[in-house]
Structure 1
Amino acid sequence: MNVFGLKMALVNLSNVNDWPSLVQRAESGKLTGTNVLLRAVSAEALEKLVDTTTSSFIYREIDKAAILLNSPPPGGVLLISDERKQLVDYASNTNSVFEPTPLEQWRELQRLSDILLHTPFNTGGVITGMVIDANGTLQIFLHSMPDSMTLLYYIGNTLLLFFAIGFLILNLFFIIRRRRQNNQRMHKISQYYEHCFYRPPQ
Structure 2
Amino acid sequence: MQRILTLSSLAASGLLLSACASLGTPAGLQAGQTVAVVNSLSWDNPLTGKRDGVRTSWPIKNGKIAPEYFPLAQLKQCDADGKPCAWGVMRAQRGAPTLAYVDGGVDLAVSVSIDVARRQDARQGETQTAMAIPQDVAALAGKQCVQPSWKLKYGKVEQVELDYGVRYQVCVQRYDAAGKAIDTCAIPFI
Larger radius of gyration: 1
Q: TM-score range by the shorter chain?
A: under 0.3
Q: Relative contact order (C-alpha < 8 Å, sep 6+): which is higher?
A: 2
Please give the TM-score of this superposition, normalised by the length of structure 2: 0.26
Greater strand content: 2
Greater helix content: 1
Please give the TM-score of this superposition, normalised by the length of structure 1: 0.25
